[in-house]
């Protein structure tokens, strides 16, 4: 529960420090005095987005700090999961710096707003005036049934299956779309693949073929040049080798005279050996030369096929063509594989649908079972609140769709008087009736939820007199099991509080300031008397205030 709230430099509040009772706390004050600032400050410390305009003094930071007693609320796992220090008295702090930057802390550890917001859902329920209209919301009505029917585990199982079902459905649609797109290209891709496979391409093949083509295309020219080379090397009279022999003989005669001459002789001898080897190789290559027009045509045809494929696929090498071949092969076979994958997903979808339908049916049955007792509980609470003949119907209609919390469509019907037809709640109930019904729902939910604190922001709007008194009694009764705070304009409700705060404006200083004061017994009598009679407090109002306060 909330045990302490301090606010510094926020809106009209310079500084305020408040300690709260664990029972019913009342907050009153004139319209515009700043009661809503308390709720806004609490919203800020529970993760609401910060606004630089909230700073009263733009030169200093705003700090809102809330202390919660949480020892009995099984929150240790939350703290462990978020790497936070657990403390029975946990402190939530929010700071807004003059720069506009916002910071959040839990027990002095920095946290994100998401963590603060999640923690807040376990600690506090602020029921503002506009939230009464949420009672007309279909999801809100379903949630009421599920809380009272203790459907949380079933809903969780259903939502887990629904998440898996949607993921499976998404994958199925993606594969079906992919199959549809690939099927359109299947024939063309198959043709391209067959064309490449027919070419029987091999790495490095193009360079070898181009080299062979060059040789076969120049057989006659090469043969002519080899014969000429042979003649130059081996002619008996003018051949290079014969002339080299004569040179070698001449140098051999002088080689004994000097080592330099001998070296020249050896070099010529080596040249003669090399040239003889060249001659042998030229003759060998000449013998290998074969004029083969058939082979030439085959090689030329294969190269033209390669060039045509490269042009078609906008590439320059066989390596790239082979990559394209692999890609086409994958696409062609993927279409065939997709059919199998799609069939598996279709079967999985049927299984998910069966599980979801089963869970949705269980949820529907549990909702139907608690509706009669819920209606009786609501009637028992609101009958004394000036609605003695009110009656309700919850009509649950199963739909064909898997909704976030089952398959039920709900209509909450209301009849205010005997003999009148039932109508949709939001169209039939007045604002005052909606407030009373909402209070009844909150009182019932308090028995089933573990929420430690609830704040009512003028939930008693539109009622007065004995009805207001009984609404105050309901809040007081709720406070026996949980901490309740009520912002009210009604003296009957205000009188039921265990403690009473008044919010007022001080116009004496240079700046208007909102002040929050815990009222003493005497101050409380005056405040309630003023709420009864207005600015001029009468003796009758004082007497009535004392009577209300017992």
Would the pLDDT of 34 be above 90? no
For 363, residues 6+ apart whose C-beta sits below 8 A from its C-beta are 146, 151, 154, 155, 158, 405, 406, 408
For 498, residues 6+ apart whose C-beta sits below 8 A from its C-beta are 21, 23, 24, 25, 479
Triad 526, 529, 530: Cα angle to 5°: 85
pLDDT digits (tens, 9 = 90+) for 46-95: 988 887 777 888 888 999 999 999 988 888 889 999 999 999 999 999 99
pLDDT digits (tens, 9 = 90+) for 414-466: 999 888 899 998 888 888 888 888 889 888 888 887 778 999 988 887 787 88
The position carrying tokens 């022999």 is 245
Output the pTM of the full model: 0.65
User: Where exactly are the structural domains of the chain?
Assistant: 1-127+450-519, 179-336
Residue 42, Ramachandran bin (φ over 0: left; ψ between -120 and 50: alpha; else beta): alpha
Number of H helices, E strands in the chain: 17, 15
> What DSSP element (H or E) covers 348?
helix 318-382
Asked whether 123 and 453 are in contact (CB, 8 A), the reply is: yes
Q: In what order do the strands lie in the sheet with 391-403?
A: 391-403, 406-415, 423-424
**CATH match for 1-127+450-519 among 2.60.200.20, 3.40.50.2000, 1.25.40.10, 3.40.50.300:** 3.40.50.300
Among 123-137, 314-328, 508-522, the range of highest mean pLDDT? 314-328
């Amino acid at each position: 529960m909330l045990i302490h709230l301090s606010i510094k430099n926020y809106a009209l509040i310079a500084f305020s420090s408040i300690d709260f009772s664990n029972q019913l706390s009342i907050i009153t004050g004139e319209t515009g005095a700043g009661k809503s600032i308390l709720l806004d400050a609490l919203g800020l410390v529970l993760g609401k987005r910060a606004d630089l305009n909230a700073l009263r003094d733009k030169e200093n930071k705003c700090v809102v700090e809330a202390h919660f007693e949480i020892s009995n609320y099984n929150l240790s796992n939350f703290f462990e999961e978020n790497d936070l220090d657990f403390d029975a008295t946990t402190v939530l702090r929010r700071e807004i710096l003059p720069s506009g930057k916002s910071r959040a802390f839990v027990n002095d550890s920095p946290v994100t707003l998401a963590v603060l917001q999640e923690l807040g859902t376990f600690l506090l329920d602020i029921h503002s005036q506009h939230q009464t209209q949420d009672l007309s919301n279909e999801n809100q009505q379903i949630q009421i049934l599920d809380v009272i029917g203790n459907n949380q585990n079933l809903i969780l199982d259903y939502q887990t299956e629904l998440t898996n079902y949607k993921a499976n459905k998404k994958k199925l649609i993606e594969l079906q779309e992919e199959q549809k797109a690939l099927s359109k290209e299947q024939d063309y891709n198959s043709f391209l693949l067959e064309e490449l496979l027919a070419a029987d391409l091999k790495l490095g093949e193009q360079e070898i073929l181009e080299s062979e083509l060059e040789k076969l295309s120049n057989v006659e020219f090469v043969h002519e040049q080899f014969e000429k080379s042979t003649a130059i090397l081996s002619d008996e009279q003018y051949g290079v080798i014969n002339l080299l022999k004569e040179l070698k003989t001449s140098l051999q005669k002088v080689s004994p005279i000097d080592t330099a001459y001998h070296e020249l002789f050896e070099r010529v001898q080596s040249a003669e050996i090399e040239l003889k080897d060249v001659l042998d190789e030229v003759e060998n290559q000449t013998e290998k030369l074969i004029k083969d027009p058939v082979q030439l045509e085959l090689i030329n045809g294969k190269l033209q096929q390669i060039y045509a494929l490269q042009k078609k696929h906008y590439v320059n090498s066989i390596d790239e063509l082979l990559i394209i071949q692999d890609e086409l092969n994958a696409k062609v076979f993927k279409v065939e594989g997709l059919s199998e994958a799609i069939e598996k997903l279709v079967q999985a979808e049927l299984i998910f649908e069966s599980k979801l339908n089963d869970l949705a049916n269980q949820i529907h049955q549990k909702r139907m079972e608690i509706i009669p007792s819920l209606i009786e509980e609501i009637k028992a609470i609101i009958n004394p609140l000036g609605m003695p003949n009110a009656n309700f119907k919850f009509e649950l209609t199963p739909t064909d769709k898997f909704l976030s919390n089952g398959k039920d469509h709900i209509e909450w019907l209301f009849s205010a008087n005997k003999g009148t037809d039932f109508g949709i709640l939001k169209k039939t109930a007045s604002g005052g009736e909606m407030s009373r019904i909402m209070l009844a729902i909150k009182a019932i939910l308090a028995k089933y939820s573990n929420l430690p604190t609830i704040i009512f922001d003028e939930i008693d709007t539109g009622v007065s007199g004995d009805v207001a008194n009984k609404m105050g009694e309901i809040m007081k009764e709720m406070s026996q099991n949980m901490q309740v705070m009520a912002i009210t304009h009604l003296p009957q409700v205000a009188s039921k509080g265990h403690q009473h705060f008044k919010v007022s404006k001080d116009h004496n200083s240079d700046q208007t300031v909102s002040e929050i004061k815990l009222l003493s017994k005497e101050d409380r009598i005056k405040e309630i008397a003023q709420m009864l009679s207005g600015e001029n407090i009468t003796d009758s109002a004082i007497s009535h205030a004392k009577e209300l306060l017992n």
